[in-house]
């Protein structure tokens, strides 16, 4: 049946068309699905990236962005002022200006460098690197701690890219006077933190650096993409804490006199190096102290070797005959001898293959203890200690008198000397130590011992610091009773007066006053060849004005003197100035 076949064909064609359509739709759906999935995946990536940037690392990137436009540096505190006992300023931090550049703003570095040199000094080449740094550089120091007037002159030029920060600079109004005591500062630089700050390198600037230096603050400056400062973007995030002031015991006007007398004294004996110290024996306050050659903290273009140290503290020496006072005081304390006790002194004494002699030739003579001290007899003091005291007890007295103990002075570099343990003493070692050879000390140790003769047997820690004005703190200093038998003190003082009136210290005499003290001519150990040098000696005098209202004790010395000379005239000059300045009167 034709009609039936036609219907079947139409039906089959319809099914084929439907099947083809389904296959087409199916293929299209797969493609769409893939496209949609790719789109969703990309969207998810962008979304996660957005979350990562805006949430997870947003703080870090924000911080990095802020850092990229922020220049920070430390703000140094004003260093404390150092005053003398009368209120004179010895060291002070004055206003200064630190100049810096933003090289990215400077289009004519050559012109800018020349202008800076005109205002601040130096040559244009000194500033070339600061104003013409590499591309993208936005901060360079031009000059730190510049003079404020010079910086103001530069500011008035209104140079693009040049900026200014308030700062301070250390100054020493008295220059060389008291320079070794006051000390000096050096500028330290920390490249990592871009910090430049003062640090004490010698003297009291060094010893009291922590007190004087204070605590730094921090200063930040925000800049735009072109390197120009953002208005309102400059701020100080941490305030600096200023250093404390200190008042020290030095009398700067008397110090000036002492330095002049020291310079004249070493010139008299034809050397360049020596020391002088004047101390109040009742409280340990040092009124003046110096060593030559001198040191000028205000001008360090030339610094003589060793000039930055106070040698009376930092240098050791064999004291020589000023140590005979130690031996004689021990004898008097033990009541073993009186000034009139006589000792037979041969031309020399022999021990352990060595000879001990006096500085002058003599036959066998008889000296009493007063004459032994006045004439400074090595033989006499050696035999006196050996016969009437014994070397072991003498050794114990040296320890009791704190001559093998640091004084504790508030000054950097105090040295402890040499004293051989008694178990290793030979006979000649005992002899030598009685007159100050074979033992080394620093000058402050012997000065404190003589001070005990003035201060009723008490040795007070020598010191410079008197008080801290901001806090009102007054430090306490230790005192030690080193001479227990008080009857020995006036007797020893009387014998020291005989040194000046009838012995080796006649040039120390001051008319109308009872000066007391002891001279010394000490051999110098030859570190290169062993033994003692034959070309030079150290000379010294230590003393005070007895029977007066003065508690001052004075040490003076000259180093490596080529012949037998004295510094007694130096003592005379120094203490004469003290008499005038402090109204010292006899009692």
Within 13 Å and on the Cβ side, how many CA atoms surround 6? Answer: 3
Residue 323 lies in a domain: yes
Last-in-domain residue among 51, 68, 85:
68
Residues β-bridged to residue 258: none
Do 161 and 279 share a domain, yes or no? no
Q: Report DSSP letters for 236-253, one per residue.
A: EEE--BPPPPEEES--HH
Residue 278 is encoded by which pair of tokens? 């004047």
Residue 242 lies in a domain: yes
Pairing of strands 229-238, 217-223: antiparallel
To the nearest 10 degrees (0 to 180), the angle between helices 443-454 and 488-502 is 110
pLDDT of residue 227: 47
Tell me the residue length of the chain.
587
Do 235 and 258 share a domain, yes or no? no
Do 238 and 274 share a domain, yes or no? no
Residue 517 lies in a domain: yes
Do 21 and 123 share a domain, yes or no? no
Percent of the chain beyond pLDDT 90?
Answer: 68
CB atoms within 10 A of CB 325: 28
Mark 515-547 as b/e (b = at least 16 C-beta within 10 Å). Answer: bbbbbbbbbbbeeeeeeeeeebbbbbbbbbbbe
Percent of the chain beyond pLDDT 70?
Answer: 83
Within 13 Å and on the Cβ side, how many CA atoms surround 277? Answer: 29
Please give the chain's pLDDT, 587 residues, in tens.
444 445 555 555 555 555 554 554 455 556 666 666 676 666 666 666 655 556 565 555 445 444 545 666 677 788 999 999 999 999 999 888 889 888 888 888 899 999 999 999 999 899 988 888 666 677 888 988 888 899 999 999 989 989 988 888 899 999 999 999 999 999 887 767 667 788 999 999 999 999 999 888 876 766 555 445 555 555 556 778 899 999 999 999 999 999 999 999 999 999 999 999 999 999 999 999 999 999 999 999 899 999 999 999 999 999 999 999 999 999 999 999 999 999 999 999 999 999 999 999 999 999 999 999 999 999 999 999 999 999 999 999 999 999 999 999 999 999 999 999 999 999 999 999 999 999 999 999 999 999 999 999 999 999 999 999 999 999 999 999 999 999 999 999 999 999 999 999 999 999 999 999 999 999 999 888 888 999 999 999 999 999 999 999 999 999 999 988 999 999 999 999 999 999 999 98
Residue 301 lies in a domain: no
Residues 6+ apart with CB under 8 A from 465: 204, 208, 246, 247, 248, 249, 410, 475
Q: How far is CA 345 from CA 70, 121, 327, 349, 496, in A?
A: 85, 72, 17, 9, 21
pLDDT of residue 21: 46
Largest distance between two CA atoms of the chain: 178
What dihedral angle (degrees, nearest 10) is formed by the CA atoms of 138, 140, 142, 143? 130
Residue 303 lies in a domain: no
Last-in-domain residue among 52, 68, 84:
68
Last-in-domain residue among 37, 68, 99:
68
Q: What's the rounded Cα separation, in Å, for the pair 251 and 87?
A: 9
- Domain encompassing residue 517: 252-294+308-582
What's the structural domain count of the chain? 3
Q: Are 344 and 368 in contact (CB under 8 A)?
A: no
pLDDT of residue 421: 97
To the nearest 10 degrees (0 to 180), the angle between helices 378-388 and 391-400 is 100
Distance of CA 161 to the CA centre of its chain: 39
Do 261 and 244 share a domain, yes or no? no
**Residue (of 38, 580, 503, 84) closest to 287 by Cα position:** 84
List, for residues 137-196, the tens digit of each pLDDT value.
Answer: 778 889 888 888 999 999 999 899 899 888 888 999 999 999 999 999 998 877 676 677
Residue 237 is encoded by which pair of tokens? 């995030």
Residue 300 lies in a domain: no
**Residue (of 488, 515, 484, 512) closest to 501 by Cα position:** 515
Q: What is the CATH number of the domain that holds 493?
A: 3.40.710.10
Residue 362 lies in a domain: yes
Do 461 and 528 share a domain, yes or no? yes
Do 508 and 552 share a domain, yes or no? yes
- pTM of the complete model beyond 0.85: no
Q: Report DSSP letters for 351-371, one per residue.
A: ETTEEEE-SS---SEEEEHHH
Do 243 and 264 share a domain, yes or no? no
Residues 6+ apart with CB under 8 A from 164: 97, 98, 99, 100, 151, 154, 155
Do 29 and 107 share a domain, yes or no? no
pLDDT of residue 25: 46
Q: What's the rounded Cα separation, in Å, for the pair 199 and 243?
A: 12
Do 423 and 534 share a domain, yes or no? yes
Q: What is the CATH number of the domain that holds 123?
A: 3.90.1310.10
Residue 302 lies in a domain: no
**Residue (of 502, 452, 455, 460) closest to 479 by Cα position:** 460
Do 425 and 278 share a domain, yes or no? yes
Do 229 and 265 share a domain, yes or no? no
């Amino acid at each position: 049946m034709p009609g039936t076949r036609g219907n079947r064909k139409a039906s089959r064609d319809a099914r084929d068309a439907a099947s083809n359509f389904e296959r087409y739709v199916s293929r299209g759906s797969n493609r769409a699905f893939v496209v949609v999935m790719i789109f969703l995946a990309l969207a998810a990536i962008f979304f996660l990236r957005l979350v990562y940037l805006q949430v997870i690392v947003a703080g870090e990137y924000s911080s990095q962005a802020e850092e990229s436009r922020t220049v920070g540096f430390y703000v140094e505190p004003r260093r404390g002022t150092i005053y003398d006992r009368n209120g004179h300023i010895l060291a002070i931090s004055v206003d200064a200006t630190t100049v810096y550049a933003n090289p990215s703003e400077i289009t004519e570095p050559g012109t800018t460098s020349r202008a800076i040199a005109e205002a601040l000094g130096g040559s244009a080449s000194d500033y070339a690197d600061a104003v013409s740094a590499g591309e993208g550089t936005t901060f360079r120091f031009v000059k730190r701690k510049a003079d404020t007037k010079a910086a103001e002159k530069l500011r008035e030029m209104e140079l693009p890219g040049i900026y200014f920060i308030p700062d301070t600079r250390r100054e020493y109004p008295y220059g060389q006077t008291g320079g070794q005591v006051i000390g000096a500062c050096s500028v330290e630089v920390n490249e990592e933190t871009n910090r430049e700050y003062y640090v004490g390198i010698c003297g009291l600037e060094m010893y009291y650096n922590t007190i004087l230096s204070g605590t730094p603050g921090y200063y930040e400056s925000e800049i735009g993409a072109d390197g120009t400062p953002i208005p309102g973007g400059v701020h100080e995030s941490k305030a600096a804490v200023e250093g404390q002031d200190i008042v020290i015991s030095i009398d700067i006007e008397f110090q000036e006199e002492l330095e002049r007398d020291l310079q004249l004294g070493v010139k008299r004996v034809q050397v360049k190096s020596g020391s002088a110290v004047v101390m109040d024996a009742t409280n340990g306050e040092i009124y003046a102290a110096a060593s030559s050659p001198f040191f000028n903290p205000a001008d360090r273009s030339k610094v003589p070797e060793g000039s930055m140290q106070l040698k009376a503290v930092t240098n050791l020496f064999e004291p020589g005959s000023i140590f005979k006072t130690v031996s004689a005081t021990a004898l008097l304390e033990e009541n073993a001898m009186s000034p009139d006790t006589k000792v037979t002194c041969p031309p020399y004494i022999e021990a352990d293959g060595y000879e001990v002699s006096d500085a002058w030739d003599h036959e066998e003579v008889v000296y009493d203890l007063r004459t032994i001290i006045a004439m400074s007899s090595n033989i006499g003091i050696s035999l006196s200690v050996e016969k009437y005291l014994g070397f072991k007890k003498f050794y114990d007295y040296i320890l009791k008198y704190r001559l093998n103990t640091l004084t504790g002075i508030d000054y950097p570099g105090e040295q402890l000397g040499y004293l051989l343990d008694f178990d290793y003493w030979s006979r000649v070692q005992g002899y030598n130590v009685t007159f100050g050879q074979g033992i080394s000390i620093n000058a402050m140790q012997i000065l404190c011992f003589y001070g005990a003769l003035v201060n009723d047997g008490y040795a007070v820690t020598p010191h410079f610091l008197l008080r801290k004005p901001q806090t009102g703190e007054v430090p306490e200093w230790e005192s030690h009773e080193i001479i227990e038998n008080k009857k020995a003190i006036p007797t020893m003082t009387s014998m020291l007066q005989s040194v000046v009136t009838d012995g080796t210290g006649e040039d120390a005499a001051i008319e109308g006053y009872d000066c007391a003290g002891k001279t010394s001519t000490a051999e110098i150990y030859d570190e290169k060849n062993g033994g003692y040098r034959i070309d030079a000696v150290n000379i010294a005098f230590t003393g005070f004005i007895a029977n007066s209202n003065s508690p001052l004790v004075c040490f003076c010395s000259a180093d490596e003197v080529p012949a037998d000379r004295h510094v007694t005239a130096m003592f005379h000059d120094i203490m004469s100035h003290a008499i005038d300045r402090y109204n010292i009167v006899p009692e």
